[in-house]
Amino acid sequence: MGRKPTKIRVVPLGGLKEIGKNMTVIEYRDEMIIVDCGLSFPEDEMLGIDIVIPDITYIEKNKDKIKAIVLTHGHEDHIGALPYVLKKINVPVYGTRLTLGLVEVKLKEHKLTDVHLQRVDAGTTIQLGPFEVEYIKSSHSIPDACAIAIHTSLGVILHTGDFKIDYTPIDEEMIDLQRIAELGKKGILLMLADSTNVERPGTTMSEKNVGITFENIFGGTKSRIIVATFASNVHRIQQIVNAAYKHNRKIVISGRSMVNVSSVAQELGALTVPEGLIIDVNDIDKYDDHEIVIITTGSQGEAMAGLSRMATSDHRKLDIRAGDTVVISATPIPGNEKTVSRVINQLFEKGADVIYESLAEVHVSGHACQEELKLMHRLANPKYFIPVHGEYRHLKQHAKLAENLGMPKENIFTIQNGNVVEITKDYAKLAGNVPSGHVLVDGLGVGDVGNIVLRDRKHLAEDGLMVVVVTLTKENGKIAAGPDIISRGFVYVRESEDLIVEAKQVVKSALDMCEQQNTREWSVLKSSIRDVLKDFLYTKTKRRPMILPVIMEV
Amino acid sequence: MGRKPTKIRVVPLGGLKEIGKNMTVIEYRDEMIIVDCGLSFPEDEMLGIDIVIPDITYIEKNKDKIKAIVLTHGHEDHIGALPYVLKKINVPVYGTRLTLGLVEVKLKEHKLTDVHLQRVDAGTTIQLGPFEVEYIKSSHSIPDACAIAIHTSLGVILHTGDFKIDYTPIDEEMIDLQRIAELGKKGILLMLADSTNVERPGTTMSEKNVGITFENIFGGTKSRIIVATFASNVHRIQQIVNAAYKHNRKIVISGRSMVNVSSVAQELGALTVPEGLIIDVNDIDKYDDHEIVIITTGSQGEAMAGLSRMATSDHRKLDIRAGDTVVISATPIPGNEKTVSRVINQLFEKGADVIYESLAEVHVSGHACQEELKLMHRLANPKYFIPVHGEYRHLKQHAKLAENLGMPKENIFTIQNGNVVEITKDYAKLAGNVPSGHVLVDGLGVGDVGNIVLRDRKHLAEDGLMVVVVTLTKENGKIAAGPDIISRGFVYVRESEDLIVEAKQVVKSALDMCEQQNTREWSVLKSSIRDVLKDFLYTKTKRRPMILPVIMEV
């Protein structure tokens, strides 16, 4: 083998120039660790796709070098691709208490049983080959979030994970700024830091602020209260629990992921609920309205989640009643604005009083705003910097922020997934690319839906389709049956009978023409049908349905 | 006929519980006027739909009673349905200078030439049967916007149209608060008022603020400047023109609607451009970068508009170059957040400096915030109130705002499209419904795409389709050819050959089974094929493509 290379290579496989599927490979002395393993949700044009995961060609090729996957926290965009990745490379997974709790649930759903999960606590360090991986307490919108300091003989790499700086966190465990400062004082070689909120000036408010709003709402009404929030936001749930307890309300937990996460969090001690406070949904009618709080999913307006189902009377056990107070304790993720608005409208129409972010402080972000990012940069004071977790606009602004703090431009790497940053003790530079991209998951299919399938779905979605079927005789290519036409998603067939009759005639003429010219090549017949029909339909309707000619022979 | 009814009936046909397609019928003494005639843009689930217009069954039935359509301003959501409505009912259309200028362009595109357009100026009144319609100067994000006071012998109806209160408007013509106050002092029977921004506290900033930002940007860079904004925001364009003139920059106007609107506005005197300031796009290279401003469409990230095309190098004449300063002088309309973000990312990647709303004050709204709405309510002081122009959440909040100002709850009508509010001198009440709803326009088709077609498009978009074709013999129903299978938008066929082969076998077995049972009914054969294939494919892929069985007979 010769001497092992004394370069660090940092290779992001996800999370750059996108929101989601965070995943970064760190290499040193021919060994690798992977930080996070997330999924992202499909873009609008990825029709029918369930989730998106990173392209892991590169780590599959290098699977013998991988020591472990280390997780910063338990959000889907950091752990969601694990079941898919672990099916390809079975390596140990490290994470904190709740992170692994959530991973376990996920692996169970995918029937993955032989994964080695290793719990790490904030403030401790694990040795993984040439990497000493130190977990550093952080703050985020999920408990047990950590930054990770990767100590190597070349220097320290600090990966902030997702973070905010909350001086009054719910669990009383502050982000360990002192340790970050200590590391910074000694010298950090490279920092990778969260860019999500870089466009927002000032600082993100403390989670405690939301608690105060809950106090006011819970104390100020005699009605039932329904709170929708992210299932993973356990600190938020803790504050709902606290307010409910204080105001003598029982809690009903609704929605599969809300039930799952809150029970895992309780088992692990990340959520503390007084005995008997949570009641079964079937017992709800034993209590008066002012004795009830329902905690549910659906804060993003997801059609299948608790809140939407209640709002549309599609929930088996719970319904929204006139006079209910509904709190949407979340902000719409970009792209969800309209679905959230629809649910708000439905709730108002049911006669509920709806409290949402534009009306009251019922949500705070989990990410650092500009002033917090500046603090992180000043404390860590890294030599090199890679902005991560963000679209290009965020990475770019984060780079600018670092520059404004005095970091030399050439020490900042505003890169994309697949880029390799090579670091030695003398320099850092871009050193080529590895395969990267997204893999679409649709049902059981992982990667079997690509651009052609999506293009067809888009075409079908826009203008529907027309199937033209004709049976020809083997002997002389004359029409034995048909042409028949079936359309879907194009026009109301009943109201467009004339159009279909005319279309058949157009097809027949085209086939007759081919016959006269003695053309019996199927591909030619099909493209004649497609061409004449396309022109005919566009002239008549200004639409371009997909045209599928089918020829059979008897 | 007997005595004519002495009731006013107010019938909104659009704009309530939705953003867009604003249209309200006002009836008195068996005569009608229509205020505005707008379109809306399709919701996400309206796949392939171009625009949405109101259901006008009610006014078609009553077309002999209609005296006129009176327009408040020239935005699409107030004039966009005119071509469709005027094809059904040819009535005179009244509006201000720029409003009619834009209507003319629109009617020309639709080849409608025999429409009677009648210009009205703010401060004047027209007599339309029993209605005296007074145009009152207003402020909005388009010039020549008016509120409308409809005087009847029963009292005055004030329709605010879209408005904000701008104390320093670009055209120096203040919204005529004095006239509204005067009418209010005498007594307004009913007010219909814009609810768009009711959730925002405070006041909307003056359009002039944006001008100050432009001044700073234009004076602070030597690079080319590209500003994207709404074509109809002529005051915004005026301010770009002013800043360009001051900083010795020539202007290139790009994008069909930007060219159209700015030339109409110039002809009509709503936009003043110094001689020679606007240059042809082909002459752009004759100037240095610091001498150029490009004004373009595409501020909503629309794929086909100027800015997107420049950002993706898809524009015939203009490209974004490293160092360009791009100003996105607009805010994303709900639902467009992601497309706008995508364009921002693309621009940054091209090396442009991009200035958008979260970074600088480059846009202000055209709608009144809470404090402005309160002022309007206090000045107009109407007896009855209908909140309009908004989703239900906005109408609801606007009703609450009016209540908080002391209006009796029973005098506020939070209603929906099609509801009839009947007003006499003694009372106002809900008095039934008329047909209302949306009509989908897809290409040349108006209303020929409905729920079934949309449901099919959605199904096709999610999982694609599989067409199964089989030819049977007439004599004995045996298979003469096939079954053949064609799929689109489902899986990559090349990578799924086995699946297709198996699927054919499954279909063949189903047909054999039918034959054994002597079943020759096509509907039964088809549903057998559909059922077995559905189960087979779901087991194999967890997807549910649309299955289209086609049977032919020879």
Residues B83, B121 within the same domain = yes
Inform me whether the pLDDT recorded for B538 exceeds 70.
yes
Q: Give the per-residue pLDDT at B2.
A: 47
In this prediction, residue B494 has a pLDDT band, given cuts at 50, 70 and 90, of low
Q: Do A491 and B445 touch (CB under 8 A)?
A: yes
Residues A423, A474 within the same domain = no
Residues B194, B214 within the same domain = no
pTM recorded for the entire structure? 0.90
Lowest mean pLDDT among A479-488, A532-541, B245-254, B259-268: A479-488
Strand order in the sheet with A93-95: A117-119, A93-95, A66-70, A31-35, A23-28, A8-14, A419-423, A428-433
B219 known ligand binder: no
Mean per-residue pLDDT, A313-338: 92
Residue pair A22/A192 in contact (Cβ under 8 Å)? The answer is no
Beta bridge partners of B330: none
Residues B127, B178 within the same domain = yes
Mean per-residue pLDDT, B244-266: 96
Single-letter residue type at A293: V
- Kindly list the distances between the CA atom of residue A393 and the CA atoms of A130, A193, B258, B417, B525, in Å, as whole numbers in the listed order: 35, 15, 27, 41, 56
Beta bridge partners of A549: A468
Which of residues A327, A355, A383 is at a domain's end?
Answer: A355
Tell the residue number behind the tokens 């997801």, with chain if given: A302
Torsion from C-alpha of B367, B368, B370, B372, nearest 10 degrees? 170
Distance from CA of B150 to the nearest CA of A (A): 31
Grouping H, G, I as helix, E, B as strand and the rest as coil, residue A193 is: strand
Q: Write down the catalytic residue from B235, B247, B367, B438.
A: B367
Q: Which residue of A has its CA nearest to B480?
A: A554
In a domain, B279, yes or no: yes
Torsion from C-alpha of A304, A308, A311, A316, nearest 10 degrees? 30
Q: Give the per-residue pLDDT at A45.
A: 87
Residues B183, B225 within the same domain = no
- Kindly list the distances between the CA atom of residue B92 and the CA atoms of A504, B86, B337, B367, B545, in Å, as whole numbers in the listed order: 43, 9, 38, 28, 50
Of A43, A348, A457, the CB nearest to B460: A457
Residues A40, A168 within the same domain = yes
B522: tokens are 């096509």
Beta bridge partners of B254: B296
Partners of A480 on chain B (C-beta within 8 Å) are: 471, 554
Q: How far apart are CA B239 and CA A429, in angstroms?
A: 45
Of B348, B495, B548, the CB nearest to A393: B348
H/E stretch holding A548? strand A546-553
Tell the residue number behind the tokens 């309510």, with chain if given: B377
Mean per-residue pLDDT, A349-353: 95
- When mean pLDDT is compared over A313-322, B6-15, B442-451, the highest value belongs to B6-15
A417 known ligand binder: no
In this prediction, residue A521 has a pLDDT band, given cuts at 50, 70 and 90, of confident
A116 known ligand binder: no
In this prediction, residue A520 has a pLDDT band, given cuts at 50, 70 and 90, of confident
Q: Give the per-residue pLDDT at A304.
A: 87
Cα end-to-end span (Å), chain B: 66
Where residue A9 falls (left for φ over 0; alpha for ψ -120 to 50; beta otherwise) is: beta
Of B345, B448, B482, the CB nearest to A392: B345
In a domain, B197, yes or no: yes
The conformation of residue A473, written as its DSSP 8-state character, comes to -
Residues B138, B267 within the same domain = no
Q: Write down the catalytic residue from B36, B166, B176, B194.
A: B194
Mean pLDDT of chain B: 94
Inform me whether the pLDDT recorded for B358 exceeds 80.
no
Grouping H, G, I as helix, E, B as strand and the rest as coil, residue B528 is: helix
Q: Write down the catalytic residue from A36, A144, A176, A194.
A: A194
Q: Do A490 and B44 touch (CB under 8 A)?
A: no
Residues B19, B73 within the same domain = yes
Cα A504 → chain centroid: 47
Beta strands in A424-545 (DSSP E): 428-433, 438-442, 445-446, 465-472, 479-488
Angle in degrees, 0-180, between the axes of helices A256-268 and A97-109, rounded to the nearest 10: 140
B379: tokens are 């000045």
A548: tokens are 């599928």
Distance from CA of A199 to the nearest CA of B (A): 7
Q: How far apart are CA B411 and CA B430, in angstroms?
A: 11
> What is the per-residue pLDDT across A393-427, written as a single tens digit (0 to 9) for each?
999 999 999 999 999 999 999 999 999 999 998 89
Q: How far apart are CA A362 and CA A208, in angstroms?
A: 11
CB burial string A526-550: b at 16+ within 10 A, e below: bebbbebbeebbeebbebbbbbbbb
Residue pair B148/B176 in contact (Cβ under 8 Å)? The answer is no
Q: Do A348 and B393 touch (CB under 8 A)?
A: yes
> CB atoms < 10 A from the CB of A520, how many?
13
In a domain, A2, yes or no: no
In this prediction, residue B215 has a pLDDT band, given cuts at 50, 70 and 90, of very high
Q: Do B393 and A354 touch (CB under 8 A)?
A: yes
Grouping H, G, I as helix, E, B as strand and the rest as coil, residue B426 is: coil
Q: Which residues contact B469 (CB under 8 A, 6 or more apart)?
A: A469, A550, A552, B482, B483, B484, B485, B486, B549, B550, B551, B552
In a domain, B360, yes or no: no
Single-letter residue type at A294: I
Mean per-residue pLDDT, A367-390: 97
Distance from CA of B98 to the nearest CA of A (A): 30
Q: Which residue of B has its CA nearest to A446?
A: B541
Tell the residue number behind the tokens 């309209």, with chain if given: A338
Of A444, A458, A467, the CB nearest to B542: A444
In a domain, B3, yes or no: no
Distance from CA of A544 to the nearest CA of B (A): 9
Partners of A18 on chain B (C-beta within 8 Å) are: none
Residue pair A488/A546 in contact (Cβ under 8 Å)? The answer is no
* Structural domain span for residue B293: 207-355
A364 known ligand binder: yes
Residue B367 appears among annotated catalytic residues? yes
Distance from CA of A104 to the nearest CA of B (A): 23
Which of residues B305, B336, B355 is at a domain's end?
Answer: B355
A140 known ligand binder: yes
Partners of A198 on chain B (C-beta within 8 Å) are: none
Higher pLDDT, residue B401 or B513? B401
In this prediction, residue A492 has a pLDDT band, given cuts at 50, 70 and 90, of confident
Q: Write down the catalytic residue from A247, A367, A377, A394.
A: A367
> What is the per-residue pLDDT across B498-532, written as a single tens digit (0 to 9) for each?
889 999 999 999 988 888 888 878 888 899 999 99
Of A337, A463, A464, the CB nearest to B334: A337
Q: Do B552 and A462 touch (CB under 8 A)?
A: no
Partners of B541 on chain A (C-beta within 8 Å) are: 442-445
Give the whole-number percent of chain B exceeding pLDDT 70. 99
Q: Which residue of B has its CA nearest to A485?
A: B550
B280 known ligand binder: no
Give B233-272 as a DSSP string: -HHHHHHHHHHHHHTT-EEEEESHHHHHHHHHHHHHTSS-
Q: How far apart are CA A390 and CA B379, in angstroms?
A: 48
Q: How far apart are CA A481 and CA A486, in angstroms?
A: 15
**Angle CA A193–A195–A201, to nearest 5:** 120
Inform me whether the pLDDT recorded for B251 exceeds 60.
yes
Pairing state of beta strands A250-254 and A292-296? parallel
> CB atoms < 10 A from the CB of B131, how many?
25
Tell the residue number behind the tokens 């660090």, with chain if given: A8
- With residues binned 3-state (H G I as helix, E B as strand, rest as coil), the percentages for chain B, rounded to 5, are 35, 25, 40
Q: Do B457 and A464 touch (CB under 8 A)?
A: yes
Nearest to residue B436, comparing CAs of B9, B11, B13, B94?
B13
Of B453, B461, B484, the CB nearest to A550: B484
Q: Do A445 and B541 touch (CB under 8 A)?
A: yes
In a domain, B2, yes or no: no
Nearest to residue A31, comparing CAs of A130, A111, A109?
A130
B438: tokens are 């949306």
Looking up residue B19, the CATH number of its domain turns out to be 3.60.15.10
Of A345, A542, A550, the CB nearest to B392: A345
Residues A168, A223 within the same domain = no
Distance from CA of B50 to the nearest CA of A (A): 10
Torsion from C-alpha of A460, A462, A466, A467, nearest 10 degrees? -10
B223 known ligand binder: no
Partners of A345 on chain B (C-beta within 8 Å) are: 17, 391-393
> What is the per-residue pLDDT across B295-309, written as a single tens digit (0 to 9) for each?
999 999 988 899 999
Residue pair A249/A217 in contact (Cβ under 8 Å)? The answer is no
Higher pLDDT, residue B495 or B2? B495
Inform me whether the pLDDT recorded for A6 exceeds 90.
no
Q: Give the per-residue pLDDT at B151.
A: 98
Q: Give the per-residue pLDDT at B5.
A: 65
The conformation of residue B102, written as its DSSP 8-state character, comes to H
Q: Give the per-residue pLDDT at B521.
A: 84
Tell the residue number behind the tokens 């022979």, with chain if given: A553
Of A458, A496, A548, the CB nearest to B448: A496
Partners of B44 on chain A (C-beta within 8 Å) are: 44, 338
Residues A79, A170 within the same domain = yes
Looking up residue A526, the CATH number of its domain turns out to be 3.10.20.580
Partners of A542 on chain B (C-beta within 8 Å) are: 443-445
Residues A433, A491 within the same domain = no
Q: Give the per-residue pLDDT at B523.
A: 87
Residues A128, A275 within the same domain = no
B365 known ligand binder: yes
Inform me whether the pLDDT recorded for B353 exceeds 80.
yes
Distance from CA of B522 to the nearest CA of A (A): 15
A315 known ligand binder: no
Which of residues A355, A379, A399 is at a domain's end?
Answer: A355
> CB atoms < 10 A from the CB of A121, how many?
11
Mean pLDDT of chain A: 94
- Kindly list the distances between the CA atom of residue B238 and the CA atoms of B211, B215, B265, B326, in Å, as whole numbers in the listed order: 9, 13, 10, 18
In a domain, A105, yes or no: yes
In this prediction, residue A451 has a pLDDT band, given cuts at 50, 70 and 90, of confident
In a domain, A32, yes or no: yes
The total of structural domains in chain B comes to: 3
Looking up residue A252, the CATH number of its domain turns out to be 3.40.50.10710
Distance from CA of B479 to the nearest CA of A (A): 10
Partners of B480 on chain A (C-beta within 8 Å) are: 471, 554
- With residues binned 3-state (H G I as helix, E B as strand, rest as coil), the percentages for chain A, rounded to 5, are 35, 25, 40
Nearest to residue B461, comparing CAs of B47, B49, B42, B52?
B47
> CB atoms < 10 A from the CB of A338, how many?
16
Residue pair A192/A154 in contact (Cβ under 8 Å)? The answer is no
Lowest mean pLDDT among A110-114, A301-305, B90-94, B106-110: A301-305
Higher pLDDT, residue A524 or B56? B56
A282: tokens are 């079937």
Q: Which residue of B has its CA nearest to A49?
A: B462
Q: Give the per-residue pLDDT at A504.
A: 92
Partners of B392 on chain A (C-beta within 8 Å) are: 345, 348-349
Q: Do A43 and B554 touch (CB under 8 A)?
A: no
Q: Do B546 and A458 touch (CB under 8 A)?
A: no
A280 known ligand binder: no
Tell the residue number behind the tokens 């026009």, with chain if given: A491
Grouping H, G, I as helix, E, B as strand and the rest as coil, residue A195 is: coil
> What is the per-residue pLDDT across A524-541, written as a single tens digit (0 to 9) for each?
889 999 999 999 999 999
Cα end-to-end span (Å), chain A: 66
Residue B194 appears among annotated catalytic residues? yes
- Report how many Cβ contacts below 8 Å link chain A to chain B: 199
Q: Give the per-residue pLDDT at A1.
A: 44
> What is the per-residue pLDDT across A31-46, written as a single tens digit (0 to 9) for each?
999 999 999 999 988 9
Per-residue 3-state assignment (H helix, E strand, C coil) for A2-37: CCCCCCEEEEEEECECECCCCEEEEEECCEEEEECC
Q: Give the per-residue pLDDT at B444.
A: 86
Q: How far apart are CA B319 and CA B340, in angstroms?
A: 18
Give just the sign of the alpha carbon dihedral A131, A132, A135, A136.
negative
Q: Do A445 and B488 touch (CB under 8 A)?
A: no
Beta bridge partners of A353: A325
